[in-house]
Amino acid sequence: MKLQFRVGLRTIKTGIAVAIALGFSWYVFGIYSGMGAVAAIVAMQPTIHRSFKIVFNRIFGTILGLVCGLAVVATLGANPLTIGLAVIVSLVFNSMIGRTDMSTFAAFAIVLMFESPTGDYAHYALTRSLLTVVGVLSAVAVNYIVFPPHYEDRLLLFVKKTTKQLMEDWRSLVKDDSKLLAVRKQVLKHEEMIIMLQEDQKYPLVASGQSEAFIQLKQLVDLEDKLLLLLESIASHRDLPMSEEQEKALGQEIDFLLSHHYDVIFSHERNQPMFTFDQEISEVKDIINGHLLDYREQLEKMK
């Protein structure tokens, strides 16, 4: 088995954020606690938007959990049953206020609070809350300032690779559902990356999701999806009776569209329209024809 050694930017940034959090813990608070480091790891998300979202969930979830834990301990004392009760109280409260996304952080904070070597749970809870804040803010700052996420170039390479596979192998793909499913998983990843790009459009250090380059990239992903939908439609109806002439006409129509699709992806700086379409539509089954038209229309948008 061949091992691949690759260190991504997010991996490096996670290490930097952890080092900052532990540095604060050691040099500012005079203790060594992994709570801030764990918070930094959780908050290092693939997009700036998701990192900021974690800030709220992590900080307020931790504070809520610690408050519930202190209230239960002050009332009933500290033992395994009261710790379990404190977790239940925090989870129920999160559900009541409609913030179940904070539940895990609240429960996590309660369990860690009782690791205090002394009975001063309030001081221990306050210190760990501050370390949590330091950890998530360290992650957000590093993620935002140090090589902020840019997915455009990588996504374009992925789209070109997948689309080229669809173009070259479409006749064999429509005969193999497992191969089509594998390609669908790739396209879903591309669509997820488009969503991540859109999420960060508010942040000036990150490439804007409103830029012309992003709009064109989104169109390419949409076009890739239309082509895959067409092939999936043909595959799901491959048992329908079709004459040899109809099969030939359909193949020619798809090849015609694919040639222009290729131009859209691999050609640059055109001063004239890239292509025109005939009005004639191949005589194929309606459901396949619908996806064929969708694919056509998406290509038209790329003129």
Query: Among 17-21, 126-130, 131-135, whose mean pLDDT is lowest?
Result: 126-130
Q: Break the chain into its structural domains and give their ranges.
A: 9-145, 152-301
Q: What does DSSP assign to residue 198? A: H
For residue 186, what pLDDT is reported?
93
Share of the chain above pLDDT 90, in %: 7
Mean pLDDT (the chain, rounded): 78
Share of the chain above pLDDT 70, in %: 82
pLDDT at 85 > cutoff 50 = yes
pLDDT at 35 > cutoff 80 = no
Over range 296-300, report the average pLDDT.
74
The pLDDT-based confidence of 268 (bands split at 50, 70, 90) is very low
pLDDT at 256 > cutoff 50 = yes
**Structure confidence by residue, pLDDT tens digits, 90-101:** 888 888 888 887
Over range 51-73, report the average pLDDT.
81
Query: Among 42-56, 172-186, 255-269, whose mean pLDDT is lowest?
Result: 255-269
The pLDDT-based confidence of 285 (bands split at 50, 70, 90) is low
Of 28, 61, 27, which Cα lies nearest the Cα of 42?
Answer: 61
Over range 171-197, report the average pLDDT.
89
The token pair at 65 is: 């959990």
Burial class (CB in 10 A: 0-12, 13-18, 19+), 290: middle
**CA torsion sign, 28 to 31 to 32 to 33?**
negative
CA distances from 124 to 19, 26, 241 (A): 21, 15, 74
Query: What percent helix, strand, coil does the chain show, rounded to 5?
Result: 75, 0, 25
Query: What DSSP line would sit under 219-236, residue for residue?
Result: HHHHHHHHHHHHHHHHHH
| Residues listed for the chain | 303
Q: How far is the C-alpha of 164 from the C-alpha of 227, rounded, in Å?
A: 11
Over range 47-51, report the average pLDDT.
78
Of 285, 217, 213, which Cα lies nearest the Cα of 249?
Answer: 285
Amino acid at 258: L
Question: Where are the alpha helices (H) located in 44-79, listed in sequence order?
Answer: 48-76
